[in-house]
Structures are given as structure tokens and as C-alpha cells.
Amino acid sequence: MNTETKGPPLPTRKLENSIVKVWRMSAAIEEGIGLLLLAVLLYLDYYFAWPAWIGWILIVFLLLTFVYSVWSVIIRPYYLHKNWRYDLNEAFLQLKSGAILEQHQLIPMAKIQAVSTKQGPLLRKYGLFSIEIMTMGTSHTIPGIPEKTAIEVRNQIAIFAKVKEAEE
Amino acid sequence: MKELNRYHPLTIVFDMWKTAKNSFFAIFYLYILNFSSDSTFIYYARIVFWIFIGITFITIFIKWYTNKYTVNETSFNLFHGIFKKTKQTIPFSKIQNVNRHTSLFHRLFNVTSIHFETGTAEDSSVKFSVIKRTAADQLEEYIAEKGEGTGSTISFEELDSNGRSDLDSRKTVHFQPVRKDIVKASFTSLSFLVLIPILGSIYSKINQVLDLEKRAEGYLSYLLDAWWMIVVLVLVFGCLSLLIGMAWTFLKYGKYEISSDGERIYIKKGVMETTEFSILKSRVQAVEVTQSFMKRLLGLAEVKLTSSGSFSGGEELEVNTLYPFLPLNRAYDLITELLPTYEVASHLYSLPKKSLGIRLLKPSWFWVMATGALFYFHPVFFQMEMTWLILSILLLTLIVFGRILDYYHTGYLVKGRFIQFRKGGFTTTTFLSRRDKIIEVGVSSNLIQQFLGLATVTTVNRAKPVYHNTLTDVPVNFSTLFYSWYMEREKEVEHE
């Protein structure tokens, strides 16, 4: 993957390291619920002696969920964090995420209509915030920024976004 | 100017006419279907109907009496409500589009209707359902001048006088269809087929009542016995439907006029009922030229303007289409004539060879599902067991052909402040926009694209809803160029 040098310029700011833990935890909870559900179904299958093919399908699902949770709990959060970048100046907000599907976004400050900070229980545990940016028709989220930076970034965007272009 | 104006008195007649039209079915039911009915239900229903009509007519009259408006230097002031009084101020600067609709009723009294749209909610627009033509012209011009902030000395007294407006003389007419265009249009829109469903539905309706099929069986079998009779019938039917199709096309697209002045683009259409629209040039966010397969064969194209103003309801949705059957060369010239700040390039860069490969290798889920369904349902035509296989192969060929066409049609160019994309297989679309009108851009690439050095670029334009335009598999170098091109916008955008 040497295309990074040829593609759009990379923003410089990175997310806080602890977001990896948050992502791991939330993925673990999700997969845990999934596994639990499958386990209950398997027990019911055993208890009520459902047709054999249902058991096989459940086992296949169980294996898939297991493999997927290895990916979503252990591998994905690390690479997601490694590839997430953002940056802002008085003219643009720039976002970059993903490695398998690399995504770049360039949003003029003048087109941003609202910006807010959000915090769920997992983010609160690590003192992190996510910033949500709304434009006329799209919304973007920067996950995992420490409280001080988050408020700073939010206020900065609010100030830069105040600029109005002529001919609105 | 402080004095309050009532709307044109014919508004009462117009509203009454509309009520009469809307109650057509009630009258039909009460007085024609149940003409000699003695039932109490019909008796009371008729009384209720007349009370309802009476109340509606009184309301129409009171409404006309209480609804007033004033026009001052900067805005409309509307006063309405019978019990709950409302005053509404609509500044000229917020008016985005002006529509004019002249129905047969208006034509009869030599008046028209005019609608000033603000592009927000429906109720914050100004509508004159009946207004003198001269007054409408003057009002439109007055608002066009005041809305742009240039001083003008037209006083409102002049609006009511019969002085001729010079609005028409300032406009330049850019396009009016000639007979050749109509003939081409009627072929492209396949409007000559319109007779078949009409005849079919008429036949089935009559059949229900008169049981034609039994009666006609004798005649029909007699007619169909002679082969020349069939030929004559088919010929007559063909000519008839061709004529009707052309007449239909003429009624719909015959009288078109695209004109413009410094600030606005005007579109006038309709033969029996005329409708007129105008769009502020500065609100045009992007231009699109679309060619369907039929249109490409005949060298026609459709030009669409994406505007930030909303086009409310029904037929008015078509506002942004200039004319659906423009000759291609004329279409490109028209864009630069109407929007002098726009430049249309005729030569675009094509995609690299590897983009064709990635297009062909991409799995078509539609084909997979269709084949699955065909295999499962196993339809048999002409006693061929392999029907599903043949259909599946045909579909695959069509999809592959479409993708190859798409590869050859796709082109891109960034030049100065403009960006131009062309894409599409059977139906091609050319998209043109200016850097300051694009509100967001994005670049993405998946693993295969990264391996091949390709990327997907996206632009977002203001419209309702926001308009996304995507071009897949452009070289990654172009995506870099595209990004830095968009960053340049800061230097040219004017800040308030």
C-alpha cells in the first residue's frame, strides 16, 4: 500500500489511544450478546430436539460469530485508530479513515451548520468525547477525543463556521 | 404604498370555478347517477351538498374581502384570516423562483396567476391566483430589481396602470422548438404508443356495459378472414396513433420558450394552458445533460439545472428541466448562453484501461439474484427447457455491454473553476459544476482500487435533497488533483 503518497494529503491529528479500548469493549459487549443468544438457541435446540439442520446452522453461525469477534474485538480497533486522522484550519475540516476502504472528506468551514460533542458511558469511562459535525445534508463524526481537545475543537469549528459565504 | 390592496375580484370567480370543478363527482353522483332516486339518503345528501357549497362560496367571498396585501420597497406584506388575523412579511431578497400559470380560465378573462416562491415552507410564498397580465409583468420586474438591491423608481401606482412593461424587451430568447424538434421528440418519448392503453381501457369499459365481445364476434371473424383487411386495419391504426402521438407531444412540448436576462432564466411552456417559470442564475448549483439511448440515437439531450430553491409539488417538479429534447450541440451552446460564467469542455479525459477491468470483474448482484430466481422458478417458453439459461446469458450480455459502454462514456475534467463528469452506460449524464457551488468533496478507495492505483471521487451540491455525484475508478493522481483543486476554493469565495 504505497498509494498513500499519491493520494490526497493526509491530515495530521490522531485520535486518543484509549479509543482502542473503548472500541474493543463495545465490540466485546456486542459479540458477547450475540454469542449468548446463540448459546441459548443451541440449548433450546438440544432441549426440544429440533430438526438436525437447525443445529448445524446454529453451529455454523456460532463459528462465524467467533471468527468475526476476533476481528472486531482484537484486530479492527487497532487499525481503525491507526488510520483515523483529522485536521482543521480556518477554511476546511479534513477527515480520513479506514484502510481497507480508505475515505477522505473535505468540508469547507462555511458549510458546517452545527457541531456538537457527545459522550456515552464507555467514552465517559476514559474521559473521551465524540464530535458530531452536521452540514446541509451530511453528518460526520470524529470519535474519541479527550475532553479538553474536544471542547477546543468544537469551539474552533463554531468560530470558523460562523463565516458566511456571499450568495447564500 | 401604505394602502392595502385586495386581490383581483376575479379571484372569487376563479375559486368558485375551482370548487365547482372539485365537486363534479358529487354532482355526478347526486344528480345523474341517482337522477330519479326517492331515497331519503340522497334527499339529505343533496341538502348537505348545497349547504356545503353555500358555505364555501360565502367563505370565498369573505376571504377575498379580508385578504389584503401591500408591496413596499423591500417586501410583500400579506394580511389574511377571518377570525384569526395574520400578518406576514416576505422580503423580496428571499424570493427564489417565480412561476406563472395561465389556465384556460385565465385565458378566457385575459388574466394570469403568479407565484413567488421562497424555497422554504409552502406557506411562506406569495400567490396571486388571478392577476392582470400587465400587473404580473410589472410586479415580477419590480421584485427582480428590488430583490437584487438596485434602485428603481417604479411606484406602485404604475403597477395598476396599463403601461406596458419592458420586461419582454430585455429578455433574449434562446430556444423555441421547430417542427423537426417536435417530430423527433414524439419518436423519442414513444408517445405514439399512447393510443394502445387508451383504446384498451375504452374497450374494456364498453365491454363491461354492452358485452361487445359477443356481439362483435360475427363481424370480427368476418373481418379477420380477409388478410388485406388486417393490413388496412393495422395501417390505419398505425397512422392514427402516430398522429395522436404527435398531437400529444405538440400539446406538451410544442410551445416552449427558453429566454433569459441578466439575472434570471425564464421557461415558458404549454399550448392550451401556459406555465412560466423563472430561476435566479446565481442559484444554479450545477448543470446536467442527460441522454437516454433513444435520445442519443437521434442526437437529442435533456438539460437540467440543479437549483437551491425548492420546487414545490406536482408538475412544478419539472421546472429544472430546460427542454427534454434539445439537439445536443444546441444544448451545450445553450448552457454557455444562459450561464455565461460556465464553460463546457467538449473533450474530457477517459479512464485508464484498468478501470475497464475492475468494472467487468465487479460482481453483479442483480444478475446473481435474477439467475437464482430464474433457476428456481424455471419458466419455460416455446417448449425450451433451457429458457432460464438463455435469459440469464442474455441478461449477463446486456450488463457486460452496459459496463463496457459506461467505460467508454466516462470522462472527467477539472479546468479552472469548473469540474465536469460524464458517466453512464445506456443513459449518459454529463455533470458540470463550479468550485464555489460544491459544498463538500470526498475521495475513497477500496483494497482493489488501492492495488490498482484507482480511487472514487464524490462531490456534494446544494439542492433538495443534497445532490451527491460519484465517479468511480479514476486514477489516484486525479483524486489528489481534485482534492487540491477544491482547496483552492478558499481564494475565490467571497465572504460576507
The chain-wide mean pLDDT, for chain A, equals: 86
- At B267-313, the pLDDT tens digits run 888 777 787 777 778 778 888 898 888 888 888 888 888 876 544 43
- The answer to whether residue B144 scores a pLDDT higher than 80 is no
Q: Which residue of B has its CA nearest to A113?
A: B439
Are B483 and A166 a contacting pair at CB < 8 A?
no
Residue that wins the pLDDT comparison between B288 and B208: B288
Q: Residue B322 in contact with residue B267, Cβ under 8 Å?
A: yes
A81, A109, A126 - which closes a domain = A81
A111 touches chain B (CB under 8 A): yes
Task: Out of B183-197, B395-409, B478-492, pick the least confident.
Answer: B183-197
The chain-wide mean pLDDT, for chain B, equals: 80
Res B157: pLDDT: 38
Q: How confident is the model at residue B178 (pLDDT cuts 50, 70, 90)?
A: confident
Res B191: pLDDT: 65
Distances (CA, A) of B468 to A149, B403, B481: 32, 21, 19
Cβ neighbours of B461 in A, within 8 Å:
none
Q: In what order do the strands lie in the sheet with B256-260?
A: B126-132, B111-117, B97-102, B274-280, B264-269, B256-260, B172-175
A34, A60, A81 - which closes a domain = A81
Tell me if A2 is assigned to some domain.
no
- The answer to whether residue B318 scores a pLDDT higher than 60 is no
Res B311: pLDDT: 47
User: Any idea what DSSP says for residue B299?
Assistant: T
Q: How big is the A-B interface in CB pairs under 8 Å?
A: 92
DSSP B55-119: HHHHHHHHHHHH-EEEE-SSEEEEEE-SSS-EEEEEEGGG--EEEEEE-HHHHHTTEEEEEEE-S
Provide the residue type at B205 as one letter: K
Closest CB to A137 among B465, B480, B484 = B465
Are A101 and B444 a contacting pair at CB < 8 A?
yes
- The answer to whether residue B259 scores a pLDDT higher than 80 is yes
Res B320: pLDDT: 72
The rounded distance, in Å, linking the Cα atoms of B107 and B100 is: 13
How many residues are recorded in chain B?
496
The rounded distance, in Å, linking the Cα atoms of B291 and B298 is: 10
Q: Residue B484 in contact with residue A104, Cβ under 8 Å?
A: no
- Contacts of residue A104, defined as CB under 8 A and 6 or more positions apart, other chains included, come to A7, A8, A94, A95, A96, B442, B443, B444, B483
Same domain, A23 and A77: yes
Res B224: pLDDT: 61
Same domain, A89 and A157: yes
Residue that wins the pLDDT comparison between B408 and B231: B408
Distances (CA, A) of B177 to A165, B266, B314: 39, 15, 24
- The answer to whether residue B432 scores a pLDDT higher than 60 is yes
Closest CB to A137 among B446, B460, B490 = B460
Residue that wins the pLDDT comparison between B356 and B346: B356
**How far off is chain B from A127, nearest CA to CA, in Å?**
30
Same domain, A41 and A89: no
The rounded distance, in Å, linking the Cα atoms of B68 and B11 is: 12
Closest CB to A6 among B439, B462, B477 = B477
Using alpha carbons, select from B488, B439, B491 the residue that is nearest to residue B468: B439
Q: How confident is the model at residue A33 (pLDDT cuts 50, 70, 90)?
A: very high
Q: Which residue of A has its CA nearest to B481?
A: A8
The rounded distance, in Å, linking the Cα atoms of B381 and A131 is: 59
**How far off is chain B from A113, nearest CA to CA, in Å?**
12
What is the rounded average pLDDT of the residues B242-252?
A: 81
Tell me if A42 is assigned to some domain.
yes
Which CATH number fits the domain that encloses residue A137? Answer: 2.30.29.30
Tell me if A168 is assigned to some domain.
no
Same domain, A134 and A150: yes
Are A9 and B483 a contacting pair at CB < 8 A?
yes
- The answer to whether residue B222 scores a pLDDT higher than 70 is no
Which three cell numbers mark A23?
472500541
Cβ neighbours of B479 in A, within 8 Å:
7-8
- The answer to whether residue B121 scores a pLDDT higher than 70 is no
Tell me if A117 is assigned to some domain.
yes
**3-class SS at A166?**
coil
Are A136 and B480 a contacting pair at CB < 8 A?
no
Are A101 and B465 a contacting pair at CB < 8 A?
no
Same domain, A157 and A89: yes
The structure's pTM equals: 0.72
Closest CB to B445 among A102, A167, A168 = A102
Using alpha carbons, select from B493, B354, B474 the residue that is nearest to residue B414: B474
Are A107 and B440 a contacting pair at CB < 8 A?
yes
- The answer to whether residue B22 scores a pLDDT higher than 90 is no
Cβ neighbours of A138 in B, within 8 Å:
440, 460, 466
Q: Residue B299 in contact with residue B179, Cβ under 8 Å?
A: no
A107 touches chain B (CB under 8 A): yes
- Contacts of residue A73, defined as CB under 8 A and 6 or more positions apart, other chains included, come to A24, A27, A28, A31
Res B385: pLDDT: 73
Same domain, A39 and A73: yes
For testing contact with chain B, the best of A79, A100, A103, A113 (most B CBs within 10 A)? A103
- Contacts of residue A152, defined as CB under 8 A and 6 or more positions apart, other chains included, come to none
Cβ neighbours of A167 in B, within 8 Å:
282, 494
Res B442: pLDDT: 92
Q: Which domain holds residue A62?
A: 13-81
What is the rounded average pLDDT of the residues B51-74?
A: 89
Res B162: pLDDT: 40
Residue that wins the pLDDT comparison between B117 and B87: B87
List, in sequence order, every residue forming a beta bridge with A133; answer none if it has no partner: A115, A140
What is the rounded average pLDDT of the residues A117-145?
A: 88
Tell me if A70 is assigned to some domain.
yes
Same domain, A144 and A118: yes
User: Any idea what DSSP says for residue B186?
Assistant: H
Tell me if A29 is assigned to some domain.
yes
Tell me if A112 is assigned to some domain.
yes
Closest CB to A8 among B436, B483, B494 = B483
How many domains are contained in chain A?
A: 2
A58, A81, A104 - which closes a domain = A81
Distances (CA, A) of B300 to B119, B328, B460: 31, 5, 27
Are B443 and A7 a contacting pair at CB < 8 A?
yes
**3-class SS at B211?**
coil
- The answer to whether residue B444 scores a pLDDT higher than 50 is yes
Same domain, A62 and A101: no
